[in-house]
Each structure stands twice: as C-alpha cells, then as structure tokens.
Amino acid sequence: MIQPGAMLGILGGGQLGRMFVMAAQSMGYAVTVLDPAQDSPAGRTADRHLCADYLDFAALDELGSTCASVTTEFENVPADTLRYLAKFCPVRPNADCVSIAQDRIEEKQFLIRHGFALAPYLILDGQQSFATAIDPALFPGILKSSRFGYDGKGQKSIDSADELQSALLDRNNSPCVFEKRVPLLREISVILARGRDQQVAFFPIAENRHTNGILDTSIVPANIKNLIAERALKIAEQVAIRLDYVGILCIEFFLLEDDQLLINEIAPRPHNSGHFSLDACITSQFEQQVRVLCDLPLGGTSLMRPAVMVNLLGDLWRENCAPNWRLILNHPNAKLHLYGKQEARPGRKMGHFTVLADSAREALTQAIDIKQALASQDVFDHPAKDEAEASTLVGK
Ligand code: ADP
Ligand code: MG
C-alpha cells in the first residue's frame, strides 16, 4: 500500500481533479496535477501543478518519476499518455479502459460484444455511403459525436434520414453514433470502485435529471424498485469485470417503462452524479479514488441520509456576478461546493449544492426551493435586502 505522505498524480485540472486533490490531501497525501491550463480548479489546489500538454513527454517523465501512482479525472486524456506513464508507476484506470470509454463507437462495440443491452444505434464512421438504407425504426434519434462529447455537446436531435445526411455532411463525416431516442422512465447511475484485489464497493444509486443534456439534479436513493436496483448493480459490476477495471467507474443507465435497463454510457472516473457522496456517504467517490490508487481498503459507502445534489451552472451568474450564496449558506440542510472557476459561462459547471433530509422527496423539495430562489432575478436587484429575502425565500 502506498503510505500517506506519498505524491500522487492526476491528469486534468477540472473540478473532479480538484475534489480528488482535496480528498487525497485530507488523507495525508500530496498531489501533482498535470494540466495544460495556467489556471485550473485542481491546478491551484494541488501541491504541484505541471503546466504542460498531455503529450509533453518531458512533463510525463517528471510526473511518472515523482509520483507513486497516477489517475485521471477525465476520459479524453490520450491513451498513449497513460500507456507511457504506466512504465513508471501504477496507472488506474489503465489506458485500455480509458480508450474504450473515450470513444462512443468503441464503447458500444465493447458493450455489445459482451452482451450488454443498449439503445438501438448505428455506427457512422464516415466509411459507409449515404445510400445505405437506414432502419426507419431508429428515428427520431440523436446523433452523437464519437469523441470529445460531454454535457450534451456534440449531440443533435434528428427526425429523418435527410436530416441525418445533412447533419453528417456538416460534420465532414467525422465518426458518430446515431442512436434511437428511447422513452425514458428514469435515468440512473451506478458508481463503483474496484480495487486491484477485485473487491468492489458500490455507491448508492442516483436518479439523474438532465436539462439540455446537462446533469441538473441527482436524487439519492433513486426511486426505483429493489429488483431493478439489484440488476443495475449486477450489470455495473459485470462491466467492471469485463474491463478488468481498477479504479472508479460510473455506468449511466436508461430505465424504460417496461423495466428494461439499457446502458447509456460509461465514465472511467468519478462522476458528477456521485457528488452527493461528499456529504451523504462516509467515504466520498474521491476518497475512494485515492484508496484504489493507493491500494488501501475500500471505504464504507452506505448512505447516511437521503440527498439531492443540484449543479450550479454559469447561467446563474449575471454579468459574472455570483448568485446570492446566503440562500444556500443560511439553509440548515444544505451544503455549498464551489470549484473556484474565475469565469461563469452558460452551461459551465461552477459548483453544486447538496441538501440532506429525512427522505429523498423532502430533500428534493428543499433543493428545488433553493434553486428557484437562486435563479430569481429579484435577489440580484436588491442586494441590500439579500439576507431577509434569502430567509423568506427558502423558508428558513
Ligand atoms: P454526454 O456524454 O453529453 O453525457 P449522453 O449520451 O449521456 O451524453 O447524453 C446526455 C443526455 O441526453 C442523457 O443523459 C439523456 O438525458 C439524453 N439522451 C441521450 N441519449 C438518449 C437516447 N438514446 N434516448 C433518450 N435520451 C437520450
Ligand atoms: Mg452522459
């Protein structure tokens, strides 16, 4: 086991990296972040920031030779980077797993090959001719770029073969997946940790609500039947086993009306839908990432209290002026997390808050109240009245 005091490495300087850094530091480890940006949420929190490209081999030499073990906070790091680092120290998850998860086409092929159920899809890798008859049952559907898509970016709703054809032309026939839009009863995610010793620990299942393709709210525990929860955990573990995975893995599922459970996609890292674990579980997904990286025993993951997590997107900022945080800070059941990002842009994840309550329903009601109050323009118009207004708006 890698002892506290050691230096750990992480690729990527975003908020997931930042929360990993904080978890590692609170357990006595030091962290080096490799990220090409001068200023990044994790870079400024880390003990050391290597400001370099992911394929800067001098920087990788430095990272690999000074760290006891390396992980990643995002799936788009080049697989070659992970392969290279693996010559120096353990890299978790490994390059093969990350390269599958970073490419929708490879991911779907991998999952189908191993018998997992997915929404009907067609691979469009630029090789086939448009004349190929497209199964009409795939419409209406969603065109998704095979690589570098996130938060609904790189996705387009498509209703007809003509529309599909012109959308592909717009994209210069870059590799895509076209997926049937399935009728969702719910979206859920399973986050698990799998150690080198093949031990698995599951986080409680989250029910996820998206707006414009971006995660908006996670409700835990998910409002699903026990049998479905058990099936989801089994499937998630099977995916981890098939990948021979070591690290934190998130499996996003679509649950349909007829109880069908389809895998949407997988993420080889902690996931936005697991942020509730920072406040509602004994071990957060980030601490668990540290534990897997250092060969420590996996921590307890039971839910201490029902929780609802709400993302704080840049849309809530007005002319780069932050919303009234008192609305969250004054609330006895709410916890605020901000990622230290300087510039607020629409759709940009700036932070999140979590509400804990006796039931998920109660936590959701309170979270929605806070969210609506945050978004209400009035609060910005009368800064002098902030405090009084905040207390009435959230019914403190
Ligand atoms: P991203 O990588 O941006 O998270 P996803 O493939 O997970 O992309 O899509 C984002 C969201 O769009 C999903 O969480 C879901 O709400 C919706 N979505 C994506 N694919 C489908 C589909 N086939 N049917 C219905 N909804 C979908
Ligand atoms: Mg997704």
- Residues within a 6 A CB radius of ligand 1: 119, 142, 144, 149-152, 179-182, 184, 187, 210, 213, 252, 264-265
pLDDT at 173: 86
Reported confidence tier of residue 133, pLDDT bands at 50, 70, 90: confident
In sequence order, the β-bridge partners of residue 206 are 189
* Residue closest by Cα to atom 22 of ligand 1: 181
> In this structure, are residues 238 and 263 in contact, taking their beta carbons and an 8 Å threshold?
no
* Residue closest by Cα to atom 23 of ligand 1: 181
Least confident span in 124-133, 141-150, 214-223, 332-341 = 124-133
- Nearest by Cα to 43 from 63, 14, 64, 16: 14
pLDDT one-digit tens code per residue, 329-372? 999 999 999 999 999 999 999 999 999 999 999 999 999 999 99
- Nearest by Cα to 289 from 273, 303, 268, 309: 268
> What is the 214 CA–ligand 2 centroid distance (Å)?
8
Which atom of ligand 1 has the smallest separation from the CA of 215? 14
> What is the 250 CA–ligand 1 centroid distance (Å)?
14
* Residue closest by Cα to atom 15 of ligand 1: 213
* Residue closest by Cα to atom 21 of ligand 1: 181
> What is the 73 CA–ligand 1 centroid distance (Å)?
21
- Is pLDDT of 378 > 80? no
* Residue closest by Cα to atom 24 of ligand 1: 181
* Residue closest by Cα to atom 1 of ligand 1: 150
Q: Which ligand is nearest to the CA of 154?
A: 1
Which atom of ligand 1 has the smallest separation from the CA of 144? 6
pLDDT one-digit tens code per residue, 24-53? 999 999 999 999 999 999 999 999 999 999
How big is the chain by its Cα radius of gyration, in Å? 21
Which atom of ligand 1 has the smallest separation from the CA of 183? 25
Question: Mean pLDDT throughout 289-293?
Answer: 98
Reported confidence tier of residue 390, pLDDT bands at 50, 70, 90: very low
> In this structure, are residues 360 and 217 in contact, taking their beta carbons and an 8 Å threshold?
no
* Residue closest by Cα to atom 2 of ligand 1: 150
pLDDT at 187: 98
- The overall average pLDDT reported for the chain is 94
> What is the 333 CA–ligand 1 centroid distance (Å)?
31
Question: Mean pLDDT throughout 371-380?
Answer: 79
pLDDT at 394: 47
Question: Mean pLDDT throughout 317-324?
Answer: 90
pLDDT at 126: 77
> What is the 252 CA–ligand 2 centroid distance (Å)?
7
Reported confidence tier of residue 385, pLDDT bands at 50, 70, 90: very low
Angle CA 273–274–279, to nearest 5:
125
Which atom of ligand 1 has the smallest separation from the CA of 153? 3
* Helical spans, DSSP H, in 153-309: 161-170, 226-243, 277-280, 285-293
Q: Which of 145, 254, 266 to mutate for ligand 1's pocket (most ligand atoms within 8 Å of CB)?
A: 254
- Is pLDDT of 393 > 60? no
Which atom of ligand 1 has the smallest separation from the CA of 121? 23
pLDDT at 384: 43
Which atom of ligand 1 has the smallest separation from the CA of 182? 24
Q: Which ligand is nearest to the CA of 214?
A: 1
pLDDT one-digit tens code per residue, 85-129? 999 999 999 999 999 999 999 999 999 999 999 999 999 987 666
Q: Which residues contact 193 (CB under 8 A, 6 or more apart)?
A: 200, 201, 247, 248, 249, 285, 288, 289, 291, 292, 298, 301
- Is pLDDT of 143 > 90? yes
155-158 vs 141-145, strand pairing mode: antiparallel
> What is the 213 CA–ligand 1 centroid distance (Å)?
6
- Is pLDDT of 274 > 70? yes
Task: Tell whether omega for the bond before 93 is within 30 degrees of 0, i.e. cis.
Answer: yes
Reported confidence tier of residue 82, pLDDT bands at 50, 70, 90: very high
Which atom of ligand 1 has the smallest separation from the CA of 152? 3
* Residue closest by Cα to atom 13 of ligand 1: 213
Give me the amino acid identity at 363: A
> What is the 260 CA–ligand 1 centroid distance (Å)?
16
Give the C-alpha separation, 328 to 261, whole Å.
Answer: 35
pLDDT at 311: 98
> What is the 219 CA–ligand 1 centroid distance (Å)?
18
pLDDT at 129: 62
